[in-house]
Amino acid sequence: MSSKPARFTLSELSGRFALRAQGDGGRAVTGVGTLDGAGPDDLAFLANPAYRAQLQHSRAGIVVLRADDAAAFPGNCLLADDPYVAFARIASLFDRRPLPAPGIHERAVVHPGTVLGADVYIGPGAVVGADCTLGDRCSIGPNCVLGHGCSLGPDVRLVANVSLGDGVRLGARVLVHPGAVIGADGFGLVLAGDHWEKVPQLGSVVVGDDCEVGANSCIDRGAIGDTVLEEDVRIDNLCQVGHNCYIGAHTALAGMVGIAGSTRIGKYCMFAGRSGVHGHIEIADRVTVAAQSMVKKSITEPGTTWASGIPVRPLREWQRILGHLNQIESSVKRLRALERSNAETRDDD
Amino acid sequence: MSSKPARFTLSELSGRFALRAQGDGGRAVTGVGTLDGAGPDDLAFLANPAYRAQLQHSRAGIVVLRADDAAAFPGNCLLADDPYVAFARIASLFDRRPLPAPGIHERAVVHPGTVLGADVYIGPGAVVGADCTLGDRCSIGPNCVLGHGCSLGPDVRLVANVSLGDGVRLGARVLVHPGAVIGADGFGLVLAGDHWEKVPQLGSVVVGDDCEVGANSCIDRGAIGDTVLEEDVRIDNLCQVGHNCYIGAHTALAGMVGIAGSTRIGKYCMFAGRSGVHGHIEIADRVTVAAQSMVKKSITEPGTTWASGIPVRPLREWQRILGHLNQIESSVKRLRALERSNAETRDDD
Amino acid sequence: MSSKPARFTLSELSGRFALRAQGDGGRAVTGVGTLDGAGPDDLAFLANPAYRAQLQHSRAGIVVLRADDAAAFPGNCLLADDPYVAFARIASLFDRRPLPAPGIHERAVVHPGTVLGADVYIGPGAVVGADCTLGDRCSIGPNCVLGHGCSLGPDVRLVANVSLGDGVRLGARVLVHPGAVIGADGFGLVLAGDHWEKVPQLGSVVVGDDCEVGANSCIDRGAIGDTVLEEDVRIDNLCQVGHNCYIGAHTALAGMVGIAGSTRIGKYCMFAGRSGVHGHIEIADRVTVAAQSMVKKSITEPGTTWASGIPVRPLREWQRILGHLNQIESSVKRLRALERSNAETRDDD
């Protein structure tokens, strides 16, 4: 990394983030670490009570923690109601990865009709289609490809090798990681007798402010009307969002989650890794779905948690369970036969 | 979008698609919509009887429907045996996304020995390897990379950021969406004592006419011999097709489907989202596999439907089910014990 | 393919690979095939006893096999303790895909501060960030993008359209297939009241010697500290490795495997296709996980095999099994009631 490492004292951090400090105000840190792994020049945090025992042995120069955890702590610390939030904000001071300087690289290709805001960066090999609009401070990384008529709000960042289809609209501060594809054709086909015909995908994709799309994730364009993400939707890597889905604000999809077409998802939902949702259903607000689960029907009660994933067992044991599962029907019949015979026996008495 | 919006009257559509019209022949539409969402300038369709009730309240300017649904419909309509097929064809008139004009962009790189058909487009940043053959009207989008010796039939379209390995052969009209990778090395490894050695992947990939490959999907090259897709195979996003697979004509793979290596799949099969198929097996024609299912053994009966996915339950309920599933073996033993004791009791009588 | 086909005699192969030959030393082959499909100019192998019957009918010019299989074989053959390993090595002679010649293509962009070893290839459209170090004979394929401060050992090959984030370090001979993304931000978020805030991902990714990363796979950068792959880790296509994972040497991940963040995996583990591992757990050495399984808790016994995937059943049958599974709780209650009633009956006797 080329930029100069950051260095901040306890007092500086206390002032900048409005957090009460305890200990030596001149104590300085130059990076962050875990409670366990931090050295004297690192700032660490304690949020999860499970790690409280590590506090005594931590070599961290500064620890961010709750007031009640700080009471018995002799070291330098910052008191926060939510130490992980405070840590996240402080840690951003130490993100030394340089952002590209504004400017259109000579190896970028910008088609006619495109309107660029102030301080836009377009990297080498990036291709911006005709009639696009890029807001102030947009950053289009190397080898990204934008179709025709895309519209990007201010401070959008496409990191590298991102593809946007025609007419895709991204809100302010949207962050798209490498290899993501937004606005490819939805999977619209109709069997015309003996062969498939393509159903034209005439909509596009609208992504709200502050959304994040992970590496190699795909969000398809709508067939009729648009696929929509409201603001602050957070999508991890290798996720699939089908055509005409509508995802509510602040919903998060962990890695490899798939949402089939035309499904409507509420706000503040959380989908754990590799969970999948069928098409044409609705999920209420604040619904949580556990890892590797399959949602087949609408979920109408907000705030509920759902699961269907099965944790591994030793292979032999699992094979026996599978065998019994295959026989479950005959087991139920045998159970009923026993009940009947039992009832008869009783009647006989 | 830069191109002029399309506008078609009922009479024009009736003539162009050989569909019987009913109502005002001069009625014009400029786009498409759902029965529910269409306005007076939109064309909609009724194919699924479940939506029949929406017909009465639809504001659509023209509706495509079956003759029997049209009987009681006072509005403007087009009669079709398969309204969804008719709709798909009509809707393509309104796909205003401009296709790139023929020509080799000055920022494209075409290696020596490559033979280009008529009216080929090669976009900025695209790299075409040596000794490739591109058919008439091929469209190689921005930043696509073709290896050596690829052969593309007429009207092939690689949208953007697509990668083709050496020697990949694509039939006529193949459409490949952004980020797809066709012809990367298959996962061929052998454990040589204490470390892996690579098994060279000497085959390539052969894709038939009219196939479609979704965004960020991968089709690996064969180890010995080729990986083959017959014609009109349709693959959605983020799918994986392993080395030396053979997929029959008109088979469709929905999002995130994975087919392990050397598996042979019949014609007209359908794999729903996130289903997976083991390697070295065979699947008969017209087999359907439900979402999130795992096919471990060959399926020999054509036309059958298979499943193993489990829909979600509320978390607590699911945890109790899992607990019982883990105890299924002891439950079966207890059931048998009861049966034995019951038999003894009867014998005692 | 442009290069001249290879041709080797039995004697030449015997000498080059130190394998005992049997038959006509002058017999030559120009390619490889399966026992079943090989012709007289092809070399084939017999490793799996299941294919022993094919040996009699094989038309292969030379067969690689074990000494005991060779006893009754009248054809030309090479004797190997591990015929598949020997085959893999011999087959590499027939990999006629030309590697790019060293040189920096005029359409490549190399930022200042980057240090290049001897005989490096950087293809058209490739973008190498500032302050990178590329070892001797590195091959950076077309349209690959490297961030700032990446460090690549000798003989690294990025095939095409690969993205490396800032500060990624790859060991010697690492092979990365098209579309793979190494070093994108991990999925680090914290809910700050009513919205998500990003947790800066300050670590990077360190990949050991001889690792292979499949097409469109993603390995995220660490939040605090690095994501680490030891040497000879082999990752297939469309896999996801979360931030701060640590994967031991010689471990293999088949297609579509996902490992959530901060999980530590031992050496020589094997994860079959589409298996998934939760975050913050540990997996011992030489653990095998079957296809489509979910590992939720740490596995501490080395050398064990685990599974939880359910093979498909005909749809109707599966629906009935699901119905019984949903009723499993009431079935267990009925079983207990029967046991109790039975005990009472016995007491009554």
The pLDDT value recorded for residue B1 is: 39
The pLDDT value recorded for residue C2 is: 40
The pLDDT of residue B3 is above 60 = no
Could you tell me if C62 and C76 are in contact, meaning their C-beta atoms sit under 8 angstroms apart? yes
Stated length of chain C = 349
Query: Average model confidence (pLDDT) for chain A?
Result: 95
ipTM attached to this prediction: 0.95
The pLDDT value recorded for residue C344 is: 79
Interface of C with B in 189-218 (CB under 8 A): 210, 212, 214-216
**Cα C185 to chain centroid, rounded:** 22
In chain C, % of residues over pLDDT 70: 97
Residue C227: strand, helix, or coil: strand
Q: Which of C129, C221, C216 is nearest to C180 (CA)?
A: C216
Q: Which of A312, A338, A339 sits opposite C308 (nearest CB)?
A: A312
How many Cα atoms occupy the beta-carbon half-sphere of A73 within 13 Å? 29
Q: Tell me: the pLDDT tens digits for B4-35?
A: 568 999 999 999 999 999 999 999 999 999 99
Q: Average of pLDDT values for B207-211?
A: 98
Could you tell me if C266 and C285 are in contact, meaning their C-beta atoms sit under 8 angstroms apart? yes
Q: Which of C185, C156, C187, C188 is nearest to C169 (CA)?
A: C156
The pLDDT value recorded for residue B72 is: 85
The pLDDT value recorded for residue C349 is: 57
Query: Lowest-confidence range among A168-172, A293-297, A329-333?
Result: A329-333
The pLDDT of residue A109 is above 60 = yes
Q: Which of A245, A177, A236, A173 is nearest to A206 (CA)?
A: A245
Q: How far is B312 from chain A (nearest CA, A)?
A: 5
Q: How does residue A348 score in pLDDT terms, banded at 50, 70 and 90?
A: low
Could you tell me if B62 and B40 are in contact, meaning their C-beta atoms sit under 8 angstroms apart? no
Q: Tell me: the pLDDT tens digits for A69-78?
A: 999 899 999 9
Q: Which of A34, A92, A310 sits opposite C294 (nearest CB)?
A: A310
The pLDDT value recorded for residue B4 is: 57
User: Looking at residue C51, what DSSP letter applies?
Assistant: G
CA distances, A196 to each of A108, A199, B77 (Å)? 38, 9, 25
CA distances, A214 to each of A208, A275, A292, B285 (Å)? 15, 16, 18, 37
- Any chain B CB within 8 A of the CB of A148? yes
Q: Tell me: the pLDDT tens digits for B65-89?
A: 999 999 989 999 999 999 999 999 9
Interface of A with C in 223-262 (CB under 8 A): 232, 234, 236-238, 250, 252, 254-256
As given in the structure block, the two tokens for residue C109 are 């962009």
Annotated catalytic residue, options B243, B278, B280, B324: B243
| Helix, strand and coil percent figures for chain C, each rounded to 5 | 20, 30, 55
Sheet holding C31-32, edge to edge: C20-22, C77-79, C62-65, C42-45, C31-32
Please spell the DSSP secondary structure of B227-293, one letter per residue: EEE-TT-EE-TT-EE-TT-EE-TT-EE-TT-EE-TT-EE-TT-EE-TT-EE-SS-EE-TT-EE-TT-
Residue B91: strand, helix, or coil: helix
Q: Tell me: the pLDDT tens digits for A226-237?
A: 999 999 999 999
Q: How big is the A-B interface in CB pairs under 8 Å?
A: 225
How far apart CA A19 and CA A158 sit, in angstroms, is 34
Q: Tell me: the pLDDT tens digits for B124-182?
A: 999 999 999 999 999 999 999 999 999 999 999 999 999 999 999 999 999 999 999 99
Higher-scoring residue by pLDDT: C72, C208: C208
Does the distance separating the beta carbons of A295 and B311 come in below 8 Å?
Answer: yes
Q: Which of B186, B201, B126 is nearest to B156 (CA)?
A: B126
Interface of A with B in 33-52 (CB under 8 A): none
What are the φ and ψ backbone dihedral angles of A77, each rounded to 5 degrees?
A: -155, 165
Q: Tell me: the pLDDT tens digits for B93-111?
A: 999 887 889 999 999 999 9
Q: To probe the interface with C, which of A312, A331, A332, A349 has the most C CB atoms within 10 Å?
A: A312
Q: Which of A257, A262, A268, A160 is nearest to A218 (CA)?
A: A257
Could you tell me if B189 and B208 are in contact, meaning their C-beta atoms sit under 8 angstroms apart? no
The pLDDT value recorded for residue B348 is: 65
Per the annotation, the verdict on C243 as an active-site residue is yes
The amino acid at C181: V
Residue B87: strand, helix, or coil: helix
Q: How does residue B349 score in pLDDT terms, banded at 50, 70 and 90?
A: low
Q: Which helix (H) or strand (E) holds B342?
A: helix B328-348
Query: Lowest-confidence range among A46-60, B107-121, B271-285, B332-346?
Result: B332-346
In sequence order, what are the residues at sequence separation of 6 or more whose Cβ sits closer than 8 angstroms to the Cβ of residue B333? Answer: none
Sheet holding A103-104, edge to edge: A103-104, A121-122, A139-140, A157-158, A175-176, A212-213, A234-235, A252-253, A270-271, A288-289, A305-307, B313-314
The pLDDT value recorded for residue B97 is: 82
The pLDDT of residue B242 is above 90 = yes
User: Looking at residue B102, what DSSP letter applies?
Assistant: S
Does the distance separating the beta carbons of A2 and C202 come in below 8 Å?
Answer: no
Query: Which chain A residues are closer than 8 Å to C216 by Cβ?
Result: 179, 216, 238
**End-to-end alpha carbon distance in chain B:** 88
Query: Which chain C residues are closer than 8 Å to A331 by Cβ?
Result: 331
The pTM (predicted TM-score) of the whole model is 0.96
Higher-scoring residue by pLDDT: C135, C337: C135
The pLDDT of residue B41 is above 70 = yes
Q: Which of A167, A181, A218 sits opposite B1 (nearest CB)?
A: A167
Pairing state between β C77-79 and C20-22: antiparallel
Interface of A with C in 301-320 (CB under 8 A): 309-315, 318-319
Does the distance separating the beta carbons of A141 and C125 come in below 8 Å?
Answer: no
Backbone conformation region of residue A16, classed left if phi is above 0, alpha if psi is from -120 to 50, else beta: alpha
How far apart CA A116 and CA A136 sit, in angstroms, is 7
In chain B, % of residues over pLDDT 70: 97
CA distances, A105 to each of A8, C18, C164 (Å)? 35, 55, 20
Does the distance separating the beta carbons of C240 and A238 come in below 8 Å?
Answer: yes
The pLDDT of residue A2 is above 50 = no
Q: Which helix (H) or strand (E) holds A228?
A: strand A227-229
Q: Tell me: the pLDDT tens digits for C42-52?
A: 999 999 998 99
Q: Average of pLDDT values for A326-347?
A: 86
Annotated catalytic residue, options A57, A243, A278, A324: A243
Q: Average of pLDDT values for C140-147?
A: 98
The pLDDT value recorded for residue B5 is: 67
How far apart CA A284 and CA A299 sit, in angstroms, is 6
Pairing state between β A28-29 and A8-9: antiparallel
The pLDDT value recorded for residue B341 is: 85
Q: Which of C220, C240, C295 sits opposite A312 (nearest CB)?
A: C295
Q: Tell me: the pLDDT tens digits for C246-279?
A: 999 999 999 999 999 999 999 999 999 999 999 9
Q: Average of pLDDT values for B323-349?
A: 85
The pLDDT value recorded for residue C342 is: 81
Could you tell me if A217 and A238 are in contact, meaning their C-beta atoms sit under 8 angstroms apart? yes
How far apart CA A74 and CA A63 sit, in angstroms, is 11
Q: Tell me: the pLDDT tens digits for C214-228?
A: 999 999 999 999 999
Residue A54: strand, helix, or coil: helix
Q: Which of B125, B311, B342 sits opposite C143 (nearest CB)?
A: B125
In chain A, % of residues over pLDDT 90: 89
Q: Which helix (H) or strand (E) holds B335?
A: helix B328-348
Query: Lowest-confidence range among A94-108, A172-186, A296-310?
Result: A94-108
Q: Which of B282, B278, B274, B273 is nearest to B302 (CA)?
A: B282
